[in-house]
Structure 1
Amino acid sequence: MTSTDIRVSGAAPQVGSPRRAWLGLAVLLLPVLLVSMDVSVLFLAMPTLSAALDPSAMQQLWILDVYGFVLAGLLITMGNLGDRFGRRRILLGGATIFGIGSVLGAFAPSAGVLIAARALMGAGGATLLPSSLALISALFAEPRARAAAIGVWTAFFAGGSAVGPIIGGLLLNHFWWGSAFLVNLPVLVVFLALGALLLPEHRAGRGPLDPISVVLSIGGILPLIYAVKHAAADGVAITDGVFAVIGAGLLWAFLRRQRHLDDPLLDLSLFRRTGFTVAIGSSTIGMLALSGLGYLGSVYLQSVTGRDPLAAAFLSIPAAAMVFVVSMGGARIGRRLGAPVSFAVALGTAAAGNLLMLGIGVDGGVGWYVAGSTIAGFGYGLCFTLVSDVAISAVPPQRAGAAAGISETSFELGNGLGLSLLGSLVTLVFRSKGHFESTLGETLAHGDAGLAHAARAAYVSGVHAAIVVAAGLLAAMAVVALLSARRRDDTAPAPR
């Protein structure tokens, strides 16, 4: 990152001590783990949460993915704000907002309030990811140490989404569903206390923020997502087309505006580099599959096989452990095979693991779920650990900050797309198979044994369809990664 000065103010120490730098990294990992974990922590809580708040089918989807979409929509904007007003200041302020949203969510009296709380948490979380990654560069001046620190950061970011359901299951075994939010508070208190002491202030010389770009980017994403959700929950209507057209028009205007700004929110020229584009595409598709099938699998383990949240959480441990371990060591594989081949191997392995999960059924198949999700976890871990490094190394140094913001946005966008698109697909199949007017949970609550079995079978059919779609997307992206290897001038790291 160029045009950057590190200003130390307040209690923040001067950077230079390796020990202090690694302590600073440990502090930065706290919000990273929370932000990524909160995408998936509600997966296991949805059945009990639904019983308490009685959300509609559309509200259930919004509860799960409004967090990810607000997060994705604001990441680039908040990264720009950090450049202008100070990364540490934005980081600590965002942690406070995240905490307020957590308290509001824990005690939400209705589905609408919970959706608003999740949106507030998304806004707070959007300040945490880009600022934490940017501060690693301020803490670690030596390139090898900085690369190792980014690898650890990526492992915690990728691992957080995988361990979220496990932590949620452990909490739900002892407490009510709101505990999945309150667990954030002690971690945030520790972060706010230590962050002011161990983290340096960091600013980059940037031009003024363009508010029109901010409005266009958020205003384009949300109408499109609303159209998808409404069509899946209640059938296609004229209003869905209207919202889709509005969203597409605003996004087109946003992209057009970025081409004419001297300091755009989204630098579109980065996508002319094949290596950068492959990395962003891989992270988006990978997180789409991981988050979508992770949620659907959690519902399957509870509502179809009849397991309680804790038992379902334990069945997710092998996959979570695989994601984390491979994320820590995946960079070595990338150096040996090269980025395009490594991405292809990672995405292909994830696709194969997902296809193994087609063995799940109403009366059995849990072993197929565990084996498939664990194999897929290897692919996800390898893919995610490569993304940040490849995305940044594929661009000139002066664009590294913008590249980091885009890579983080792709992760969160993939999370939201997985929950909305794959979740909507399952809802469509579920309703078409059995002509059910309500959700799976509502149908099971009726107590009719025959109806319950039919509902479970319809849900499994929907999950099978989602598995095939996710595996197909992963395989297609793997082919794109392999083809990109032929363009060596674009896939090689930019001169630094």
Structure 2
Amino acid sequence: MTSVDDAVTATAAGPGPRRAWLGMSVLLLPVLLVSMDISVLFLAMPTLSADLAPSAAQQLWILDIYGFLLAGLLITMGNLGDRIGRRNILLAGSAVFGIGSILAAFATGPEMLIAARALMGIGGATLLPSSLALISVIFPAARQRGVAIGVWTAFFAGGSAVGPVVGGFLLHHFWWGSVFLVNTPVLLVLLVAGPFLLPEHRAVDRGLLDLRSVALSIGGILPVVYGVKHAAAEGLDAEALVTFALGVLLLVLFVRRQRLLDDPLLDLRLFANRTFSLAIGASLTGMMSLAALSYLASVYLQSITGRDPLAAAWFGIPMAVAVFVFSIGGSGIGRALGTRLAFVVALLASAVGNLMLLGVGVDGGVWWYVAGSALTGVGYGVAFTLVSDVSVSSVPPERAGSAAATSETSFELGNALGLALLGSLATAVFRASSGTSGTLGDELREAGSDAGRVATVQESFVTGMHTATTVGALLLVVMAAATWFFGSHKQTGAAEARRAH
């Protein structure tokens, strides 16, 4: 950003330490809510499904639409924030997010819930880029800013892991809509305190927002993911092929347009830097595997082992703690081991943790999940913090804002693709193994007291879960190998030198 408005210029030296950290605490509120809302439905789905009776396709859209719109609009909203002000868009997005939360809490059918989740995704897309951008205004000193970004990353990564825990507590005491309604008082604090504790930040010489690029990016992502989901659920038919091909075509047009624009939504030159590209790949594969692991494990703990939402949530605490702690310490581990080696170790630790779920079965092995998920939490925590750090420090300072927006998009897109691709893979294996076409809940209800049929359905789900988490582990291993063999010593060293200063 080349210039800012008077409010920012007046506070160029940054607020005092006490006011700065008060402002930081306000910025963490939307980060925590957005990341929690990615995973909060994992535990709520069985209860919600029994009440609203969504179809298999509707269940996937309830889970997916929030992440898809969040991923597709992050870069757009980041650009819009430059034009109308980061604080302005943060507060406006909070209001939209709150309205969507209320509508979701009181949804009377799956269609209404999908629409409400879409509105939450639109509002949520304004919160992450604006909150991260405002940190550089609140903490102008490099050392303080580094600490603040580490805390921001810990809340972002930890929020996704702690979402099921909070959701389990709420579901134990209230109805399923409470997992959305809890957002409202938190957002009210942000809306009241934000104008007093957060400075404004606005670039004054940006051109008009390229609406064609916005349409092409959203229009490309949704058909591609829908085509993959439909193929996994219904087979590779004409609908799957046509929608997938349409999405690919629109994404190709999006990329071509970005190459021609002087002020693109996505600066493709960033990917010429191998360190940056590998960091983005690590966040994408990491979030894919984490999303699939969290969702499938939540269903397993409730529908297979028979635990209620709160009891299932307690088993997620070790991973939540590991993600949060190692997110805060990730930068220090990177300095101790070197960025490239730290990435490789973190990705391999996450892969081993995913593979440990092979010890989970219908009749036992839940502690394999606890140990495995805790180990993945260590790996994810380190890797995600390094992604935020490397994405900014591996590029010239004048391109750091675009790099940060791209890394956030990769996190959200990875989560969405994890649910769509690995989740659909688990569903496809479940249906092929059990010889059914419905969901796990549908088949268990139809089986009734038929113990043999119940056992077959449960074994089929566990087989699907094993397949999906194993594929997730393989993706992490491939990403670790790519980081080791293609990571540039020269670029990594330069990035570390910039971070040291």
Deviations 1:274-301 (A, max 9, x none): 1100111101110111111100000000
Amino acid at match of 1:473: L
* 1:22-171 pair list within 5 angstroms: 22-171=21-170
CA contact (8 A) 1:273 1:491 kept: no
CA contact (8 A) 1:429 1:458 kept: yes
Report the CA distance between 1:330 and its aligned residue: 1.1
Aligned residue number for residue 342 of structure 1: 342
CA contact (8 A) 2:291 2:415 kept: yes
Q: SS state of the match for residue 262, structure 2?
A: coil
What RMSD in Å do the two structures reach over aligned CA positions?
Answer: 1.6
Report the CA distance between 1:130 and its aligned residue: 0.1
Q: SS state of the match for residue 206, structure 1?
A: coil
CA contact (8 A) 1:274 1:487 kept: no
Aligned residue number for residue 276 of structure 1: 276
- The whole-number CA distance in structure 2 between the counterparts of 1:438 and 1:154 is 38
Farther-moved stretch of structure 1 (406-415 vs 14-23): 14-23
1:470 pairs, out of 463, 469, 472, with 472
Report the CA distance between 1:12 and its aligned residue: 10
TM score, norm. by length of structure 2:
0.96
Aligned residue number for residue 392 of structure 2: 392
Aligned residue number for residue 330 of structure 2: 330
Report the CA distance between 1:160 and its aligned residue: 0.3
- The whole-number CA distance in structure 1 between the counterparts of 2:273 and 2:11 is 38
Amino acid at match of 2:179: A
Q: SS state of the match for residue 202, structure 2?
A: strand
- The whole-number CA distance in structure 1 between the counterparts of 2:284 and 2:195 is 33
Report the CA distance between 1:7 and its aligned residue: 3.2
Q: SS state of the match for residue 418, structure 1?
A: helix
Deviations 1:309-330 (A, max 9, x none): 0110000000110000110111
1:458 aligns with 2:457: no
Deviations 1:111-154 (A, max 9, x none): 11111111110000000000000000010110000000000000
Aligned residue number for residue 494 of structure 2: 492
CA contact (8 A) 2:339 2:492 kept: no
- The whole-number CA distance in structure 1 between the counterparts of 2:465 and 2:258 is 39
Unmatched tracts of structure 1, length 5 or more: none
Deviations 1:250-296 (A, max 9, x none): 00000001011101000000000011001111011101111111000
Amino acid at match of 2:176: W
1:206 aligns with 2:193: no
Q: 1:490 to 1:322 in 2, by over 3 A?
A: closer
* 1:288-367 pair list within 5 angstroms: 288-367=288-367
CA contact (8 A) 1:274 1:491 kept: no
Aligned residue number for residue 440 of structure 2: 440
Report the CA distance between 1:237 and its aligned residue: 1.3
- The whole-number CA distance in structure 2 between the counterparts of 1:486 and 1:111 is 48
- The whole-number CA distance in structure 1 between the counterparts of 2:81 and 2:36 is 23
Aligned residue number for residue 244 of structure 1: 244
Aligned residue number for residue 3 of structure 1: 2
Report the CA distance between 1:434 and its aligned residue: 1.2
CA contact (8 A) 1:328 1:385 kept: yes
CA contact (8 A) 1:340 1:484 kept: no
Q: SS state of the match for residue 150, structure 2?
A: helix
Aligned residue number for residue 256 of structure 2: 256
Unmatched tracts of structure 2, length 5 or more: none
- How many positions carry a matched residue from both structures? 494
- The whole-number CA distance in structure 1 between the counterparts of 2:181 and 2:13 is 34
Deviations 1:452-496 (A, max 9, x none): 111100000000100110000000000111113444236632868
Aligned residue number for residue 235 of structure 1: 235
